Structure 1
Amino acid sequence: MLGKNRVIFPGEKVLLAVSGGPSSCSMLRQVQEGLSQNANKKLRFLPGIAYIDEGAVIGQSVDERQRTVSELQALFKATGFPFYILPLEQVLDLPSSVVATAPSPSERPATAYKAAVDHFVQSDGANLLTQPEELEEKPLPLVQESRTRLLQQLIGSVNTLTAREDLLNRLRQHLLVHTARTEGYSKLMLGDSCTRLAVKLLTSISLGRGAQLAQDTGFLDSRYGDIISVRPMRDYSAKEIAYYNHIFSVPSVVIPSLDTKKTDKASIQRLTEHFVTKLQADFPSTVSTIYRTGEKLQNACRKSSAGDHCDRCLLCMCTLDTAVEKASAFQATLISDQLSRTKSKGGSSTEIPRQSPGRPESAAPAGLCCSSAGGLDCGRSARGGGYCSSKVPETTDLKSLLCYSCTLTVRDMSTVKHLPQYILSEAQRRQSRSQMREEIAEFLLDDHDEGN
């Protein structure tokens, strides 16, 4: 898979996201085999391992989390690769740059890969890859109890298990991307199997992520610009991985998750997985058919400008699918939702507020400061209104910065105040920038005027 796509160049640093499950542990073992001297087709990149400890989300005690981390730490030490144990609480302290697209490296020509391989072999770089590093004994990361409570409040503010799993997936992705950037890795390798991607494809369609399927299930995911995610395990089914691990005695660690011991109808993700696996038992070509269908999907908005962050979702960093025409299925869905909400609240008015998709709503009425309720005045209202740094965006404000699927996730939250500060700060920045752009719109040149 890596040789066919040729996206990982020799000498690049690649971060392996290992969860301890069968698929990611199988990926780790195959990377070890590919870097060994006996491999027929040698791998030529520098691997590292990242594990995210999500024990706080599922209510594990400190001793249980330490026991799991110690078991995985022993497994990672045996590989000789550098590894990083990341408590999920670290996501609360990430910078706002995580949800901003970084400039992507310039595309290399097709002949550059062969030239890079020849140069790597001539420089005897293969010897550097086969020598295990002297890893320092790192103490297990300690997490403050206050940060654990904040994370539990965030997850607890989500009402449904479907939205909870979706939000957890976004936070996990943010932490992996930040770790890859800070540690100097240019590629992120995920262990999604063919079975997992088939379930994910149908789940994404059910959650309204049809426009993002190519990035969520494809081999290559470049939504973050400088960090490119790859899925080399996507050709293996879960059954094939289980046989491989059994034959070659690949160790794995059983770690509970949010949907452990839940019923099949507890969430959309759980129900879709039950549907696909049950259908696969009777019709063995089910997973491969779904997978091959998703393999043909392509992202229509691949060339979105990296400098303009406002056209990307605040959570999943995919291109916004809400900037559509008025006569569209999305607008019809919004109207139906607004009408049903008006009827459920018992309101007599059926007037539908008009709001352009992709544009933020105003934070406060004209002439009022966002901190005026506390008896303070930031002075922004005297200069024409706007936001101050102490303003926390409301749910209605965040919706204009989210794609349709992430809007449904945020709508299932009782409050957005528990979201990590880097998300709220980036929302504040985007809203202020959009409002400033509206204020000076008449002085800006259109695209067709730039050539004049």
Structure 2
Amino acid sequence: MCSIQEGDIENPIKKDKTEKSKVCMKCGGEAVLITRINDPLCRDCFMVYTTHKFRAAIGKSKIIRDGETVLVGFSGGQASSCLLQLIKDGLSERAHKKLRFKPSLLFIDEGAAIDMSAEERLDSCQKILQVMAKSGFPCHIRSLEEAMDSSFITTDSSKDSLASTELPDLDEQSQGQRSKNDLDTDRPKPAEKPKTNGLPIDKDFKEKCIHYDESEIKLKELLKSLKSVTAKEDLIKSLRYNILIDTARKHSHTKVMTGDCSTRLSVRLLSDISQGKGAHVAMETGFADKRLDDITVVRPIRDFSSKEVTLHNVLNDVESVFIPTLTTKAPQNTSIEHLTESFITGLQADYGSTVMNIMRTGEKLNTEILDSTEQQCIICHAPLDTSTGIASALNAVEFSQKISRKNDDKLSPECCGEGDGSCNTKSGRLNKEEALSTLCYGCRLMVKDLSDVNKLPEYIQRDITNRVNRSKMKADIQDYLLADD
């Protein structure tokens, strides 16, 4: 029988049948907007409503402590701009109860993934910097291709060695070398003369945008080797997540804020389930993602719908920057996530409780947090969901793929061509079967879509190799180990 009670989900009500009132439901004044299905509010009551929802989400969780520094992911879109404005209002002097944490902004340039020209990338970064500089918070810019660098590290062991690194000043470049991929700005000074149309653009960053480097070429080759747009979107999301975590560890942040609203999270929930990631949707859509021991990802506006986000930005004249993605102006069936988004937004237009019902269902899900890193996926760091029984559907699918493989497919795309089974030992290249054994089911589908696993970022290859070597060593000495009682 269905475990959902009758009162758990609201009955769908078509918006055409709702009565629109011009009286605010809170104060009785003149209403200027309607939230949810039929809740008219005036401007002042709407601002109180959104501010309370944002502050209550942070206060009830008790995750962020007083005086703690928090890294805020800023993409320039409507949701992240709304989050930035709410943080600014909460930290202003006129706030009734000021927020206690110290925010720092991070923008990840993904222009290389969508083949943007150097001028377009530089222009978008300038616009983003202009918005971030107005906030007065420390801000950083990193590029997506940084994840392809050989020096990129996401493990927790890098925290001790990188935590003491101070943010360099743009006006003091001669006092020390700075990273070519990381642009840091300090709090703007009133007497400081602006540069480059008021934006402190770093010279090295300009040169990086204009000239191709090895990391950008590797990223484009990696994306080109993926067959489907769905796999490309999953890879970009994983790389973006790891850069967020890496930046937080470098600057000693233990909390990361993202501007994910309920509409975006409901799309992610259904698309993840359809892609075999149902075991991890509680982490991907919940208020707090605690899959890592040292970093917690927080989503303080997860209860905001996209309509409420837009209304908040319009009423407060919040500036946002549009940056295209892989599926911008693409057909609905370009990817699973794009198709799911089209389905949910279309349903939400007729039935205003669609997103809320999806989110309520997702809140009932739970994911077990595992202590051992050996039981976590190498790419997404979520718990492995592939330890299933012999009669499971996963083993049945893998068995069907194994017996349907033709003899001429024995040489994998990453094979050196010798054909004697010794290519891995000679060249040190990754084997796809060994790589898949360290991934969750959702990431396995993405890697299976990849023509050559050796095109993965080097930090992923290092982690996979270390995990496989430890497993082999443990198997070799298994007979000499004491059993855990």
Q: TM-score normalized by structure 1?
A: 0.80
Name the CA distance, whole Å, in 2 between partners of 1:59 and 1:239: 31
Corresponding residue to 2:313 among 221, 229, 245: 245
Q: 1:314 to 1:365 in 2, by over 3 A?
A: farther
The one-letter code matched in structure 2 to 1:61 is S
The one-letter code matched in structure 2 to 1:145 is Y
Corresponding residue to 1:186 among 246, 254, 267: 254
SS at 1:20 equivalent: coil
For structure 1, list consecutive stretches of 5 or more residues without a partner in the other structure.
104-130, 348-363, 373-389
The one-letter code matched in structure 1 to 2:478 is A
Counterpart position of 1:111: none
Deviations along 1:107-131, one digit per CA (max 9) or x if unpaired, are: xxxxxxxxxxxxxxxxxxxxxxxx9
Name the CA distance, whole Å, in 2 between partners of 1:244 and 1:94: 42
Matches within 5 A, 1:34-113: 34-93=90-149, 97-98=153-154
Q: How far apart are 1:183 and its partner, in Å? A: 1.2
Q: How far apart are 1:394 and its partner, in Å? A: 1.9
Q: 1:289 to 1:367 in 2, by over 3 A?
A: closer
SS at 1:86 equivalent: strand
Name the CA distance, whole Å, in 2 between partners of 1:365 and 1:397: 18
Q: How far apart are 1:368 and its partner, in Å? A: 5.3
Note if 1:335 corresponds to 2:396. no
SS at 1:145 equivalent: coil
Q: 1:133 to 1:44 in 2, by over 3 A?
A: farther
Q: How far apart are 1:205 and its partner, in Å? A: 0.1
Q: How far apart are 1:85 and its partner, in Å? A: 0.7
Conservation of the 8 A alpha-carbon contact between 2:156 and 2:294: no
Name the CA distance, whole Å, in 1 between partners of 2:385 and 2:340: 23
Matches within 5 A, 1:19-30: 19-30=75-86
Corresponding residue to 1:322 among 360, 383, 386: 386
Matches within 5 A, 1:141-160: 141=205, 142-143=207-208, 145-146=212-213, 147-160=215-228
Name the CA distance, whole Å, in 1 between partners of 2:330 and 2:246: 31
Name the CA distance, whole Å, in 2 between partners of 1:75 and 1:231: 21
For structure 2, list consecutive stretches of 5 or more residues without a partner in the other structure.
1-56, 160-185, 193-199, 409-417
Name the CA distance, whole Å, in 1 between partners of 2:265 and 2:120: 30
Deviations along 1:224-282, one digit per CA (max 9) or x if unpaired, are: 21111000010000011011100000000010001112110011011111111111111
Q: Which moved more, 1:167-176 or 1:411-420?
A: 411-420
SS at 1:265 equivalent: helix
Q: How far apart are 1:132 and its partner, in Å? A: 5.7
Note if 1:427 corresponds to 2:464. yes
SS at 2:140 equivalent: strand
Conservation of the 8 A alpha-carbon contact between 1:162 and 1:269: yes
The one-letter code matched in structure 2 to 1:432 is N
Between the aligned residues of both structures, percent identity stands at 39
Q: 1:287 to 1:88 in 2, by over 3 A?
A: same
Q: How far apart are 1:101 and its partner, in Å? A: 8.7
Q: 1:337 to 1:275 in 2, by over 3 A?
A: farther
The one-letter code matched in structure 1 to 2:365 is L
Name the CA distance, whole Å, in 2 between partners of 1:89 and 1:269: 23
Matches within 5 A, 1:128-143: 134=189, 137=200, 139=202, 141=205, 142-143=207-208
Name the CA distance, whole Å, in 2 between partners of 1:69 and 1:176: 17
Matches within 5 A, 1:303-382: 304-305=370-371, 308-339=372-403, 341-342=404-405, 345=406, 370-372=424-426
The one-letter code matched in structure 2 to 1:20 is G
Conservation of the 8 A alpha-carbon contact between 1:101 and 1:225: no
Q: 1:84 to 1:417 in 2, by over 3 A?
A: same
Counterpart position of 1:416: 453
Deviations along 1:350-387, one digit per CA (max 9) or x if unpaired, are: xxxxxxxxxxxxxx999958454xxxxxxxxxxxxxxx
Deviations along 1:25-57, one digit per CA (max 9) or x if unpaired, are: 100010000001111232100100000001111
SS at 1:232 equivalent: coil
SS at 2:111 equivalent: coil
Note if 1:392 corresponds to 2:429. yes
Counterpart position of 2:477: 440
Note if 1:236 corresponds to 2:289. no
Note if 1:404 corresponds to 2:441. yes
Conservation of the 8 A alpha-carbon contact between 2:133 and 2:188: no
Displaced runs of 4 or more, over 3 A? 94-97, 99-103, 131-138, 336-339, 364-372
Counterpart position of 1:108: none
Counterpart position of 1:353: none
Name the CA distance, whole Å, in 2 between partners of 1:64 and 1:368: 46
The one-letter code matched in structure 2 to 1:92 is M
The one-letter code matched in structure 1 to 2:392 is S
The one-letter code matched in structure 2 to 1:440 is I
Q: How far apart are 1:436 and its partner, in Å? A: 0.2
Conservation of the 8 A alpha-carbon contact between 2:72 and 2:106: yes
Conservation of the 8 A alpha-carbon contact between 1:101 and 1:309: no
The one-letter code matched in structure 2 to 1:219 is F
Counterpart position of 2:357: 289
Name the CA distance, whole Å, in 1 between partners of 2:75 and 2:219: 19
The one-letter code matched in structure 1 to 2:294 is D
Q: 1:159 to 1:430 in 2, by over 3 A?
A: same
Counterpart position of 1:262: 330
The one-letter code matched in structure 2 to 1:313 is C
